[in-house]
A and B are shown apart, each in its own frame.
Chain A
Amino acid sequence: MTQEFIPYQQALELKELGFDEPCFGWYSNMDGNVFRQGYCETYLGIENCAKAPLYQQAFRWFRENCDWPIETWIQPYLSINPRTYEGLYWRRGETESVGIYDTYEEAELACLIKLIEIVKTKQQ
Chain B
Amino acid sequence: MKDFTQYEQSLELKELGFDEPCFGYYDIKDNNLQLFSDNLQDASCNSDLKYDDFKHCTAPLYQQAFRFFRENHDLRIWIESNYGVLKFEYVIATTNPNFINKQFNDFSGYNTYEEAELACLIKLIEIVKTK
A: which residues have CB within 8 A of B? 1, 4, 24, 37-39, 54-57, 60, 63, 69, 71, 73-76, 78, 82-83, 90, 93, 104
Interface of A is mostly: strand
Given A1-B21, A54-B3, A60-B113: A71 and B93 within 8 A (CB)?
no
Any A CB within 8 A of the CB of B125: no
Any A CB within 8 A of the CB of B51: no
B95: A residues at CB distance < 8 A? 82-83
B84: A residues at CB distance < 8 A? 93
Given A24-B23, A37-B41, A75-B91: A4 and B64 within 8 A (CB)?
yes
Interface of B is mostly: mixed
Contact-residue size bin, chain B (C-beta under 8 Å from the other chain): 20 to 34
**What residue of chain B has the Cβ atom nearest to residue A3's Cβ?**
B67
